[in-house]
């Protein structure tokens, strides 16, 4: 419309140029332009007369409002910098220099906790903003419910229960990270500069009130897959009570009674048998065929099976998009953001394993952002514990026919080359509890090696030859470590992120470990017995029927990769040995890559003790001296929040 008007003006302009002076022309041109800009053209026009005030009064519109509270969970849970990094089990990588005693090493500030970890770190702002966006949507759904015309009261109670559950979960994640934070419980409809903090104690009170309301309003099950249920609210309430019971800095309003409340909820959910443990732990994950050339499309059906597991109490939805369109429109075909868990942990094949690494099979495993520490491997018994090979893949196969030249290898004959057919073994990484291989048991890439595939040991994941600041090792057959493939989904290409595996936030296995922790902290009245009984239920499932009751061994010093393999301790619990650290070890094995490990360490006050022992960067700190301090149990308030608030929101101590 505007283009045609301008074209007409241009024609008139050319005609008038011959008649009028430049001064007259300017006046006429201004008049013509103003004449073309009619009031009706500039004014906004809403042909449907639809606004949030009238749209959300309709039951269908209100349903859409509640539904909009779910998609943000995808974005929130994919922000792993503050939940996975800087812990005992995951590190940002690049720590070989520490292992080889090189000077002046610099890693990620989220691992080292040095002065660079401050309010300007982008991950802080992103996580903060996403959580408050979620809270505002939930506030809108809760606050507008009574104005909906014609909404069935039972359905209204369910939808409000969903919103209160999601709001409680968001505040729970916020208060664990930052402590005292602003706590709006009404929808923000206009801009405000003031953002007064609420105390952690008051926030926990609100969370518990929301969850108790949700338990009353929510059904035991939902027709729409992925919606919050009564069981999900009870699970979250149990974890809230467990966390409040520890009463961080005496600021949460917690007491020993909270541990009893946690235990009671866990026992009730276990007794309900609504969420039975899978008999085989590996049934929780997409089918794993080590020889990935067998990963035919039919195996993708396994995702549907594991997504339907009754052990999962609540999951972020990726396979059931119909109910939750809205955010993260990264896939133009579906308008959805997919699950990227398969590409966020560990590393994929390297060296000779790159034979075909750009194919659909291995490439999805090459985008690791969070690398397992030595402890993450060495807490497992690779022989007895089925979770080791279910979490890690220690064998690589050629996915295309290819010849690898070794002429530039540092430690091999320059004339050697190795040819692979599809399906040939290209690399093996031996687990930590096996002896170092002899030279003759190695690949042709090392002196004396005889195998046409690379053979290395888990203790060598940072390199098997001495390094200096200026030199390294050339090895065209090297495979640096096992693949983290717990979330591997067949036929999902690298970097698309469009996995349809649902992210299991709550699993009933955690009920047993929460109950065990509560008992260790003094809870009484347990239905199943002592804390070790609950703990060993999870362990025995992991051992499988053939090894049930046996005593698996972990490394006595999990953080020391080259510690003697004979230095082991059992991780079967007894009434005399069960402890918080033992439970944290087991939750690490059971939930590696899931959940919020940082919050587990923060809750139990073990972030510093376990982190400096098992996370190389945290233990290194600055020039070999750890700098993490007690004030790091709270994160700095994001600078963006400080800048836009008036009066300025107070920064957390120490930053």
**Tens of pLDDT along 422-448?**
888 888 999 999 999 999 999 888 888
Backbone angles phi, psi at 499, to 5 degrees: -70, 145
For residue 396, list its beta bridge partners.
427
Q: Could you tell me which of 365, 394, 517, 412 has the C-alpha nearest to residue 458?
A: 394
Backbone angles phi, psi at 185, to 5 degrees: -120, 10
pLDDT at 19: 37
Alpha helices in 438-489 (DSSP H): none
pLDDT, tens digit, for every residue of 43-57? 555 555 566 677 889
pLDDT, tens digit, for every residue of 530-563? 999 999 999 999 999 999 999 999 999 999 988 9
pLDDT at 463: 62
The answer on pLDDT for 37 being more than 90 is no
Tell me the mean pLDDT in the region 498-516: 94
pLDDT at 249: 97
Q: Higher confidence at residue 490 or residue 445?
A: 445
Q: Quick check: 629 and 603 in contact, CB under 8 A? A: no
Quote the Cα angle for 318-320-322, to 5°.
115
pLDDT at 595: 83
pLDDT at 367: 57
The answer on pLDDT for 23 being more than 70 is no
Average pLDDT of the residues of the chain: 86
In percent, the amount of the chain with pLDDT more than 70 equals 81
Q: How far apart are CA 515 and CA 235, in angstroms?
A: 11
Cα separations in angstroms, 143 against 42, 135, 139, 469: 34, 12, 6, 61
pLDDT, tens digit, for every residue of 309-336? 999 999 999 887 555 544 444 555 555 5
pLDDT, tens digit, for every residue of 268-313? 999 999 999 999 999 999 887 777 665 555 566 788 889 999 999 9
For residue 312, list its beta bridge partners.
507
Q: How far apart are CA 130 and CA 135, in angstroms?
A: 9
CB atoms within 10 A of CB 499: 24
> Token digits for 618?
């945290």
CATH class belonging to 59-276+502-530+578-644: mainly alpha
Backbone angles phi, psi at 507, to 5 degrees: -125, 145
Q: How far apart are CA 339 and CA 504, in angstroms?
A: 11
pLDDT at 234: 98
Q: Could you tell me which of 177, 228, 184, 176 has the C-alpha nearest to residue 206?
A: 184
For residue 86, list its beta bridge partners.
none
Q: Is there a cis peptide before residue 635, judged by omega within 30 degrees of 0?
A: no
Least confident range from 112-121, 235-244, 364-373: namely 364-373
Residues 6+ apart with CB under 8 A from 191: none
Tell me the mean pLDDT in the region 12-19: 39
Q: Higher confidence at residue 518 or residue 421?
A: 518
The answer on pLDDT for 519 being more than 70 is yes
pLDDT at 342: 83
Furthest CA-CA distance within the chain? 105
In sign, the C-alpha dihedral spanning 435, 391, 280, 276 is positive
pLDDT at 44: 53
Cα separations in angstroms, 155 against 52, 68, 150, 313: 20, 17, 11, 21
Q: Could you tell me which of 623, 597, 596 has the C-alpha nearest to residue 610?
A: 597
């Amino acid at each position: 419309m505007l283009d045609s008007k301008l074209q007409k003006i241009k024609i008139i302009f050319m005609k008038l140029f011959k008649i009028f002076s430049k001064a007259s022309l300017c006046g006429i041109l201004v008049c013509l332009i103003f004449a073309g800009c009619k009031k009706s053209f500039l004014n906004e026009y809403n042909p449907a007369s639809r606004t949030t005030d009238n749209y959300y009064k309709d039951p269908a519109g209100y349903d859409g409002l509640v539904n909009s509270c779910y998609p943000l969970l995808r974005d929130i849970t994919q922000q792993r910098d503050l939940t996975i990094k800087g812990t005992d089990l995951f590190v940002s990588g690049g720590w070989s220099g520490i292992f080889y005693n090189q000077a002046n090493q610099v890693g990620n500030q989220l691992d080292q906790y040095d002065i660079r970890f401050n309010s300007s770190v982008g991950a802080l702002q992103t996580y903060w903003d996403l959580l408050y966006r979620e809270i505002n949507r939930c506030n809108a759904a809760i606050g507008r419910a009574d104005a909906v015309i014609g909404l069935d009261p039972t359905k209204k109670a369910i939808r409000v229960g969903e919103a209160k559950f999601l709001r409680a979960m968001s505040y729970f994640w916020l208060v664990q990270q930052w402590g005292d934070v602003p706590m709006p419980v009404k929808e923000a409809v206009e801009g405000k500069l003031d953002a007064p903090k609420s105390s952690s104690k008051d926030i926990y009170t609100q969370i518990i009130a929301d969850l108790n309301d949700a338990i009353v309003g929510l059904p035991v099950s939902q027709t729409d897959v992925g919606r919050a249920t009564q069981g999900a609210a009870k699970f979250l309430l149990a974890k809230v009570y467990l966390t409040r019971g520890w009463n961080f800095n005496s600021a949460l309003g917690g007491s020993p009674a909270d541990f009893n409340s946690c235990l009671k909820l866990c026992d009730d959910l276990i007794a309900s048998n609504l969420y039975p443990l899978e008999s085989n732990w590996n049934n929780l994950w997409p089918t794993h065929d080590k020889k990935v050339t067998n990963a035919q499309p039919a195996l993708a059906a396994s995702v549907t099976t594991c997504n339907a597991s009754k052990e999962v109490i609540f999951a972020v939805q990726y396979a059931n998009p119909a109910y939750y369109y809205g955010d993260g429109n990264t896939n133009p075909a579906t308008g959805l953001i997919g699950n990227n868990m398969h590409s966020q942990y560990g590393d994929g094949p390297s060296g000779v394993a790159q034979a075909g690494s750009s194919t659909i099979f291995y490439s999805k495993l090459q985008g690791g952002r969070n690398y397992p520490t030595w402890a993450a491997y060495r807490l497992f018994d690779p022989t007895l514990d089925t979770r080791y090979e279910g979490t890690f893949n220690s064998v690589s196969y050629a996915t295309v026919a290819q010849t690898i030249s070794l002429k530039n290898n540092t430690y091999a004959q320059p004339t050697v080359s190795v040819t692979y057919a599809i399906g040939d073994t290209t690399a093996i990484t031996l687990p930590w509890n096996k002896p170092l291989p002899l030279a003759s048991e190695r690949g042709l890439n090392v002196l004396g090696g005889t195998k046409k595939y690379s053979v290395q040991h888990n203790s060598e994941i940072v390199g098997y030859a001495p390094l200096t600041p200026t030199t390294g090792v050339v090895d065209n057959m090297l495979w640096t470590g096992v693949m983290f493939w717990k979330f591997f989904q067949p036929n999902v290409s690298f970097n698309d992120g469009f996995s349809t595996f649902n992210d299991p936030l709550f699993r009933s296995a955690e009920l047993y470990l929460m109950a065990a922790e509560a008992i260790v902290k003094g809870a009484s009245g347990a239905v199943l017995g002592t804390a070790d009984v609950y703990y060993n239920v999870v362990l025995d499932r992991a051992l499988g029927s053939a090894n049930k009751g046996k005593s698996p061994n972990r490394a006595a010093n999990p953080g020391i990769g080259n510690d003697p393999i004979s230095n082991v301790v059992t991780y079967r619990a007894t009434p005399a040995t069960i402890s918080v650290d033992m439970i944290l070890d087991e939750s690490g094995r059971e939930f590696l890559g899931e959940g919020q490990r940082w919050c587990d360490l923060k809750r139990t006050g073990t972030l510093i003790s376990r982190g400096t022992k098992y996370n190389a960067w945290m233990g290194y700190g600055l020039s070999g001296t750890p700098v993490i301090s007690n004030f790091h149990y709270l994160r700095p308030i994001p600078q963006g929040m400080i800048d836009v608030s008036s009066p300025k929101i107070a920064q957390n101590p120490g930053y």
